[in-house]
């Protein structure tokens, strides 16, 4: 009986360790996804805010004398 109980306890420990490893991997993946989403969002906001966005494949560069464009 004691050998059976020991085997059962060892199996439970192994299963618990495997679950912890899987959860850790999932947390790493979700953290990575969250960070990439955040980076993309920040880049998109920068593009929206920049007064000189690329138009038709050409980026417009404005001099000090030219009026600044107002991009809404």
pLDDT of residue 56: 45
32 within 8 A of 39, measured Cβ to Cβ: no
Model confidence, pTM? 0.39
State the number of CA atoms in the 13 A half-sphere of 60 facing the CB: 14
Higher model confidence: residue 10 or residue 64? 10
User: How many whole angstroms separate alpha carbon 15 and alpha carbon 38?
Assistant: 35
| Domain ranges for the chain | 2-59
* pLDDT per position as a tens digit, 11-66: 888 888 888 888 888 888 888 888 999 999 998 888 777 655 555 445 555 566 66
């Amino acid at each position: 009986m004691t050998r059976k109980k020991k085997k059962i306890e060892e199996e439970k420990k192994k299963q618990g360790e495997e679950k912890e490893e899987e959860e850790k991997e999932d947390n790493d993946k979700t953290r990575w996804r969250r960070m990439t989403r955040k980076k993309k969002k920040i880049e998109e906001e920068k593009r929206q805010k920049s007064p000189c966005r690329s138009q038709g494949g050409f980026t417009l560069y404005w001099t000090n004398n030219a009026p600044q464009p107002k991009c809404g």
